[in-house]
C-alpha cells in the first residue's frame, strides 16, 4: 500500500543528479514549517525525482526555491530519529527564491511543472490552495 502526500515547502540545498542502474535520479530536500504552541518547527523531507523528469527539472531545483511535491511518502527510524522520504510523482515550482526575479526560469510547458505566478508566501491555514492543481 502506498501513502501519497503533498509536501509544500522550501528547498534546503541545490538538487543533485546521479546516475543509477535504473536511470537518473534527482535528489533534494524540502523544509516544511509549522507553528506548534507558538514555536516554529521545521520538518525535512528527502525527495527523489526519477527518470527524464528528474533530469530535466534538476537544474531548476535550487536552494531557497518554493515547491510543492506530490508522491509516495515513507518514514524510517534510525538511531531514534525519524526520517521522511518522498518518491516524487509530480512537482510544481511555486516561484523564485526570495529576492529573485518573479519571471519563470523555464517554460512550464516543457519543464513539467512550472511557475504559476504566485508570490513566495507559503499557504497558511484557511488559504485558498486550489491553484496547486490537484
Number of domains observed in the structure of the chain:
1
Residue 59: closest CA among 99, 110, 9: 110
pTM as predicted: 0.67
Structure confidence at residue 79 (pLDDT): 86
Domain assignment of residue 123, yes or no: no
The residue segments making up the domain with residue 11 are 4-118
Q: Please give the average pLDDT of every successive group of 10 residues along the chain, which has 134 residues.
A: 91 95 95 90 94 94 96 90 92 69 38 36 39 35
Quote the pLDDT of residue 121. 39
Q: CB 79: neighbour CB atoms within 10 A? A: 4
pLDDT at 83: 84
Helix, strand, coil percentages, rounded to 5, for the chain? 15, 50, 35
The CA-atom distances, in angstroms, between 121 and each of 1, 16, 33, 50 are 33, 25, 12, 28
| Structure confidence at residue 32 (pLDDT) | 93
Q: Residue 92 has what pLDDT?
A: 94
Whether 87 is in a domain gets the answer yes
Within a domain: 57: yes
DSSP three-state, residue 128: coil
Whether 44 is covered by a domain: the verdict is: yes
What pLDDT shows up at residue 96?
55
**72 domain residue, yes or no:** yes
The verdict on residue 26 lying in a domain is: yes
The CATH number assigned to the domain holding 20 equals 2.40.50.140
Q: Tell me, what's the pLDDT at 31?
A: 95
Quick one: pLDDT at residue 97? 55
In a domain, 131, yes or no: no
Amino acid at each position: 500500500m502506498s501513502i501519497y502526500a503533498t509536501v509544500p515547502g522550501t528547498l534546503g540545498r541545490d538538487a543533485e543528479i546521479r546516475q543509477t542502474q535504473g536511470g537518473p535520479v534527482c535528489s533534494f530536500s524540502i523544509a516544511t514549517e509549522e507553528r506548534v504552541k507558538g514555536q516554529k518547527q521545521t520538518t525535512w523531507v528527502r525527495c527523489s525525482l526519477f527518470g527524464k523528469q528528474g533530469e530535466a527539472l534538476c537544474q531548476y531545483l535550487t536552494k531557497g526555491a518554493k515547491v510543492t511535491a506530490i508522491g509516495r511518502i515513507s518514514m524510517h527510524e534510525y538511531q531514534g530519529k525519524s526520517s521522511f522520504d518522498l518518491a516524487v510523482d509530480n512537482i510544481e515550482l511555486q516561484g523564485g527564491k526570495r529576492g529573485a526575479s518573479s519571471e519563470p526560469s523555464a517554460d512550464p510547458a516543457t519543464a513539467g511543472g512550472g511557475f504559476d505566478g504566485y508570490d513566495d508566501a507559503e499557504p497558511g491555514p484557511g488559504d485558498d490552495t486550489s491553484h496547486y492543481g490537484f
